[in-house]
Each structure stands twice: as C-alpha cells, then as structure tokens.
Amino acid sequence: MARKIVITSGKGGVGKTTVTANLGVQLAKSGYRVVVCDLDFGLNNIDVVLGVENLATFDVVDAIEGRCRPKQALVRHPHYPTLYSLASNKISDRYVSPQAVRLIVDTLSPQFDFILLDSPAGIDEGFHRAVACAEEALLVTTPHISAMRDGARVAGMLKSYRLQRVGLVVNMVRSDLVKKGEILTPEEISEAMHLPLTAIVPEEDKIFLDNVADRFRAFRLLAGFYTNVRPMEQQEEKKKTGFWGGLRRGAIRK
C-alpha cells in the first residue's frame, strides 16, 4: 500500500508545488512507484511543473464520475517510468467531496509506493479535501513572516487530523540573510511552528555559486528522509563545515 503524503502550505507562492514535483521525481529516480496527485482545483499546475501538461486525457473528476478508471487518468512521465501524475479539474466551482477523492486515492494505493497529494494553500475546502486522503503531511513555508503566520494556522489544523507524521520544509532560504540575522534560521522557524524540520531548500539565486546543486541535493535528502535511504551526499555531509553543511545535517536528523 502506498504512503499517502499531503504537501500543503499556509499561503501561495512558497514553492509547495515545486517541492511536491521534485520529491516525486527523486522518489521515482530511486525506483519507487509514485503518483503525484494535483488536488488544487482551478489552479492546477503540477502537470506543467512536471512537463506533462499536454499528455493528460482524463483528470481526477473524470475518474470520480466514471468516465474512466482511476488508472486511466494517470499520465506516465516520459523520463521517469515509475512516476505518474493525476491532473485535477480546471473548474474551480465544481464540488468534489473528500470521500470521492479518497476513493480514487485508495483505489490506486495498492499499485504504488507513494501518493503525493498537492493541496491548495490555506485552510479552505480544498485543503480539507486533500488532507482527508492523507496519512502524513509536509508543510512548506518560507522564512517570511506572512508565510510562517499562515503556516502556523495550517499546522494547527493538521493536528486535528491525527496524521502519522507532519514535517516541515523551509523553502527559499538565503544563507546571507540568515548570517546577518535578517531572517530566522530554519531551526528557529521549526521551533516557532512546533514542527520537526524535515528539509531546507536554498533560494534559487544567481549570487550563490553552487545554488542549483544545493537545491537538488536538498530534494534528494528529502526523498531519503521518507525512504530511510542515506544518499552519498548525506554521507559526505559529515565532512562538510560551514553554514550549509550544518543546516543540512540538522535537517536530516529524525
């Protein structure tokens, strides 16, 4: 049976969908069978991030309403053969019950190792529909006050669902601002939000020479957290010193 993980956030623009897509890719690259399910109705774009927006014939509503079987609604990624996506519906005013979506997710579960549920930001109906299908949650925030404040509200709502595990991803972290004390450290954010720190993703900015590599490494470590796999990069972290070395080591501790 698949592990069902909802990825959510308090506000839009914090990189939640990007985190979902990259986690799915890294899990698939490790050989796991993964479905990335877009439950952000009306603003769905996980297929765009994955580069498969022109391949979908059906969406989750088609499966719910019987126009196709759940597996027929899946799109297999052309570059990662064990990665599939399930598109949401573009009609934002259509009511879809949490029970209906959960039935589709549960039907797919025996055939996969992970089902990642990309939730709408905030705590509206779409949030509850997504979380009702999950057993675990990953909350994405940035070091900005507004994102952390809204994220804290979501964290409180997640606790009412009795999930097996709730983790925190701090995205768009700039080491120069942390060093200057202009933003909180990821550890301080974790403590303030009362959530265990699962991953730290640096901000994509040209002023950081190794930034792209840092981001990819962060997602590999995030995937390793869920699979209990220790990538080679993690073994190398023991030898690293400096700001990012310390942050990475702290993020992967359970």
Residue 203: what pLDDT? 82
Q: Going residue by residue through the chain, which has 254 residues, state the pLDDT in tens, using 9 for 90 and above.
A: 999 999 999 999 999 999 999 999 999 999 999 999 999 887 778 999 999 988 989 999 999 999 999 999 999 999 999 999 999 887 766 788 999 999 999 999 999 999 999 999 999 999 999 999 999 999 999 999 999 999 999 999 999 998 999 999 999 998 888 888 889 999 999 999 999 999 999 886 543 334 455 667 888 889 998 987 544 444 444 444 344 444 444 443 43
CA 102 to chain centre: 18
Q: What is the pLDDT of residue 114?
A: 98
Residue length, the chain? Answer: 254
User: 201 φ, ψ to 5°?
Assistant: -120, 120
- Position 204 scores a pLDDT of 62
CA dihedral 128, 131, 132, 136 (to 10 degrees): -160
Nearest in space to 113 (alpha carbons), one of 33, 220, 36, 31: 33
pLDDT at residue 243, rounded to an integer = 45
pLDDT of residue 235: 41
Residues 6 or more apart whose CB falls under 8 angstroms from that of 154 comprise 8, 9, 10, 122, 123, 127, 139
In this predicted structure, what is the pLDDT of residue 229? 54
CATH number of the domain at 3-252, out of 3.40.47.10, 3.40.50.300, 2.102.10.10, 3.40.50.1980?
Answer: 3.40.50.300
